[in-house]
A and B are shown apart, each in its own frame.
Chain A
Amino acid sequence: MKADPAGVLTGSHYLDGDVACGEGAMAAGCRFVAGYPITPSTEVVERIARRFPTLGGTFIQMEDELASMAAVVGAAWTGTKTMTVTSGPGFSLMMENIGLAAMMETPCVVVNVQRGGPSTGLPTMVGQGDVMQARWGSHGDYEVIALCPQSPQEAFDLTIDAFNLAEIYRLPVMFLMDECVGHMTEKVVIPEADAIEVEPRRLTDKSPEEFGPYQINGGQIPEFARAGDGYRFHTTGLTHDERGYPVMNAECHDASVRRLVGKIRDNADSIVRFEEEGMDDAEVVVVSFGITARVARLAVEEARSRGIRVGFLRLVVIWPFPEKRIRELAGSVAAFVVPEINLGQIALEVERVAAGQAVTWPVNHAGGAVHDPDAITEIIVKAAS
């Protein structure tokens, strides 16, 4: 369906990534946000707190991030599109109820504007160290979807995609910004509402008697019933059957967890998204994401001007990881160069998928600044020789 015009601030604006993300959420139809202040993410909820009362939305500042995430999961069961916003320390606290959202199959969006970690780390400065946490942070096996914008424009566009993916796959979608994108101000063009596709909640049309909240009916994703519509359904974070009733045995657990994981892995081809350039003759490929992708592009241009055949692959969706494409490339290129503002997280994935067919060269620093493009160029040169 088309976006509700009330939430869409059509026009050309000069916005930072945080504000653009907030606008993306409102355009996507988000009408409930719970959050707890934390730099460098707070501008997202400040924007929403200002606009929500005119849009029929509710923002509540909760007592902590445990509560914010729990409230977002609760509100999502009313059919409302919901989101919470945080940075590293709060993201750690949210893990408990991100797991609940995964287990209950609750559509929602979790924005993490990454700063330097661990712990309180560098509150006002950039990091990309939460990539693995976004993927593995809550206990047990589950899958997430995570998107990484490289600009305020993408902060707007991809936030809408994050909401749509949450509806389609019924899971918490991670929106992994970083402090640089969050605080960078650029032109953001917000289209007309009827040019924005938004996914509605996929409500069941079964009667309450026929309905089970986790019935699959041959597919992988159950239909949704909202609280208050007479379905009198039950849901739990315990392992459960299709009625949402707890079942404590290995068979049910295996089937449930495999479905939670399978609904993303089996659909990875339609979820994965990346951009690439210069692959035709590439012997080295730079793989990057978020703000680092913009810095890495300079390094790629410099290396090309020096005659090195280097390609560039930017991850837009970071989880699920584009395994198929990296595997193909590994068969034809000599090396991958992976700059990221952490001590090697996506590099591990590239290395795992390349499986020895191509060499992986990480280019790391721990956070607080973006890379010096020369540091990346230097590794590209080494990797090519």
Chain B
Amino acid sequence: MTVATKSTTASQELEHPSAPLLRMERIPHVWCPSCGIGTVVKCYATALERSGVDLDKVSVVSGIGCSGRVAGYLKLDGFHTTHGRALPFATGLKLGRPELLVTVISGDGDLVGIGGNHFIHAARRNIDLLVILINNFIYGMTGGQNAPTTPQQARSSTMPYGNFETPFSLPHLAASSGASYVARWTCLHIRRLTWSIEEAIHKRGFRFIEVIAPCPTLYARLNKLGTGLDAMRFYHDTAVIRNDADTRELDISFQSEITCGKFVDEERPTFLDLMHNHYSDQLGDRYVPTPPEGGMLHEQ
């Protein structure tokens, strides 16, 4: 996006600081004003730039939803897949070409609703994926239906009298399924989130970052919570940072305190580590691993 400010003329337009990583030709994007998803895109783009990784080797995979549109705005190899299947798709990408840095960015409904089974299995395998889950407590794209993350009492279009189901605590789900890095931030924690993403880029295994994000158009409107700015005030007043907190104590109730921080950071053997070690043990010289650049047949 080119932003003309008062002190600049049209010929002196400023470039968006993340422009090299964005598909500027696709702006304006689909997201509503003051939606939290854009913040996550900016933090991810900044973290990637700072990380110094080879951007040609980065793939971003999204599922379906407002958050699922993220892959479409990043100037990287980007895959906008099917609802809930970003993780298995990304698993294929990573195993097909192990040198890739594969990031999954998608929504709560996508990754732990319809995709919940894939989520626990990807974490269990500790496969090398960086997963950024944008949790707005609702199905945004389809008009505000209940999600497996909707807090009890919160209203959604399919729980018009308030939600009575028990939601997931996502850091606990990720940690107990085997993730090797687990953190939670809100869209207010821009620096911490960016830093956390950058840190996770350099780690291995299944790395999970939950970002609590405002959906002013649906979640906030249905629950009379105001604008995205009001959400920022709310995060400011009620979010607490407790690094290394016990993941059993991270439940989120309606408009309650939100515990943020890094909860898990332990290097464990990844799916590929385990596979390589095991086949090397069992097969010795007969083991031929998939080369880092992929198992493609080249013209001989």
Residues of A within 8 A of B (CB): 1-2, 4, 6, 29, 31-32, 34, 53-58, 60, 62-64, 66-68, 70-82, 96-97, 99-100, 198, 200-201, 226-238, 245-246
Show 11 residue pairs from A and B whose CB-CB distance is below 8 angstroms, ordered by the A residue. A29-B297, A56-B289, A63-B88, A70-B82, A77-B77, A96-B85, A198-B297, A200-B297, A227-B79, A234-B79, A245-B26
> Are A237 and B82 in contact (CB-based, < 8 A)?
yes
Known contacts A71-B88, A234-B72; decide if A77 and B96 are in contact (CB<8 Å). yes
> Are B81 and A237 in contact (CB-based, < 8 A)?
yes
Distance A62 CA – B23 CA, assembled complex (angstroms): 33
Question: Chain B 52-94, CB within 8 Å of chain A: the 1/0 string?
Answer: 0001110101000000000110011111111011011111110
B291 interface contact, C-beta 8 A: yes
Pick the contact of A78 from B23, B93, B297 — CB < 8 Å? B93
Interface centre among B71, B88, B99, B299 (most CB of A within 10 A): B88
B95 interface contact, C-beta 8 A: yes
Known contacts A228-B293, A231-B77; decide if A74 and B92 are in contact (CB<8 Å). yes
Distance A54 CA – B84 CA, assembled complex (angstroms): 33
> Are B96 and A70 in contact (CB-based, < 8 A)?
no
Task: Number of B interface residues at 8 Å Cβ cutoff, please give it.
Answer: 51
Extra contacts, 7 of them, besides A70-B92, A228-B100 (Cβ < 8 A), are A57-B295, A63-B118, A64-B117, A71-B95, A75-B95, A97-B89, A201-B297
Known contacts A66-B88, A74-B89; decide if A54 and B287 are in contact (CB<8 Å). yes
Complex contacts, B298 vs chain A, CB 8 Å: 200
B121 interface contact, C-beta 8 A: yes
The 3 nearest A-B residue pairs measured at CB = A74-B92, A31-B295, A78-B96
Pick the contact of A32 from B77, B96, B279 — CB < 8 Å? B96
> Are A53 and B89 in contact (CB-based, < 8 A)?
no
B5 interface contact, C-beta 8 A: no
> Are A56 and B92 in contact (CB-based, < 8 A)?
no
Complex contacts, B283 vs chain A, CB 8 Å: 53-54
Complex contacts, A229 vs chain B, CB 8 Å: 56
A263 to chain B minimum Cβ distance, whole angstroms, is 22
Distance A73 CA – B26 CA, assembled complex (angstroms): 25
Interface centre among B61, B77, B294 (most CB of A within 10 A): B77
A153 to chain B minimum Cβ distance, whole angstroms, is 24
Known contacts A54-B288, A70-B85, A78-B294; decide if A1 and B299 are in contact (CB<8 Å). yes
B290 interface contact, C-beta 8 A: yes
> Are B92 and A100 in contact (CB-based, < 8 A)?
no
Complex contacts, A68 vs chain B, CB 8 Å: 88
B40-60 interface with A by 8 A CB criterion: 55-57, 59
Complex contacts, B203 vs chain A, CB 8 Å: none
Q: Which residue of A lies closest to B124 (CB)?
A: A63
Q: Which residue of B lies closest to A3 (CB)?
A: B297
Pick the contact of A235 from B55, B75, B78 — CB < 8 Å? B78
Q: Which residue of A lies closest to B120 (CB)?
A: A63
B300 interface contact, C-beta 8 A: yes
Complex contacts, A53 vs chain B, CB 8 Å: 279, 283, 286-289
A249 to chain B minimum Cβ distance, whole angstroms, is 15
Complex contacts, A32 vs chain B, CB 8 Å: 92, 95-96, 290, 295
B97 interface contact, C-beta 8 A: yes
B10 interface contact, C-beta 8 A: no
Known contacts A235-B78, A236-B72; decide if A1 and B300 are in contact (CB<8 Å). yes
Complex contacts, B88 vs chain A, CB 8 Å: 34, 62-63, 66-68, 70-71, 74
Question: Chain B 1-34, CB within 8 Å of chain A: the 1/0 string?
Answer: 0000000000000000000000100100000000
Interface centre among A57, A58, A201 (most CB of B within 10 A): A58
Complex contacts, A245 vs chain B, CB 8 Å: 23, 26, 72
> Are B82 and A100 in contact (CB-based, < 8 A)?
yes
> Are B71 and A234 in contact (CB-based, < 8 A)?
yes
